[in-house]
Amino acid sequence: MIAVIPMKPLARAKSRLATELDPLSRMNLAANMLRRVLQATAGASLGEVWVVGGGERVRQPALERGACWQAGQGIGLNAALQWAFDRAWKRGRAALYLPGDLPFITAGDLRALVVASGNFAKIVLAPDRHCRGTNAILAPVGTDFWPALGPDSFQRHLSQAGELGLPVAVCERLGLSCDLDTAEDLQAYQSRDPVLLSRLLTEEGRAIT
């Protein structure tokens, strides 16, 4: 399997948190959440991990965690994922989309995705905590299932699988459902873990300057 993690340049990351965090803090937040996702992929022994896009400031944490950094094609999110999925399938590997902003993700969450696939026989979708967005897609080789991220993407992905006649499994896990984009997300997660933000801003003592 090849896990694909698309990233924006850190200077443009987490713009919806601009009322809560200054630009440097938002950059550190995005970089350290990426490190957490990469730590989980390493712990789950998923195989190859590609971090796509984001520029040099994303390249550094990606390489630190043993991922392969791809510069990206200067195209939109779904087009970039289609490009990466197609490359994975041509190599005979299942493709897994993961966002880089899952602060509670664990290796166990990722192993659960693989188990849900039934030995890579099913599409696996992980919804966000509102069951509207999609926070993971596992697509086996030969499925022609393309990511269609955006508002209400979870139902759109379920419909696409039905139209293609593909078996689909839904994997609901805390670590996969909680992406961090908005002030409301941050407040909800701080209620669960009061020191979450301070750790995400200074994790491993690594700060971007």
CATH number of domain containing 36 = 3.90.550.10
Q: With respect to residue 186, please indicate whether it lies within any of the assigned structural domains.
A: yes
Q: Is residue 101 domain-resident?
A: yes
Q: Is residue 14 part of a domain?
A: no
**Is residue 15 one of the residues assigned to a domain?**
no
Helix (H, G, I), strand (E, B) or coil at 202: helix
> Token pair for residue 1?
């399997």
Write out the two tokens for 75. Answer: 């195209």
Structure tokens at 93: 């590997």
Pairing of strands 2-6, 123-127: unpaired
Tally of structural domains, the chain: 1
Q: What percentage of the chain carries pLDDT values higher than 90? A: 87
For the full predicted model, state whether its pTM sits above 0.75: yes
**pLDDT tens for each residue of the chain, 209 residues long:** 999 999 999 999 999 999 999 999 999 999 999 999 999 999 999 889 999 999 888 998 899 889 999 887 667 899 999 999 999 999 999 999 999 999 999 999 999 999 999 999 999 999 999 999 999 999 999 998 999 999 999 999 999 999 999 999 999 999 999 999 999 999 999 999 999 999 899 865 454 44
Q: How far apart are CA 100 and CA 2, in angstroms?
A: 15
CB atoms within 10 A of CB 81: 22
Range of the domain at 35: 2-8+20-204
Does residue 135 fall inside a structural domain?
yes
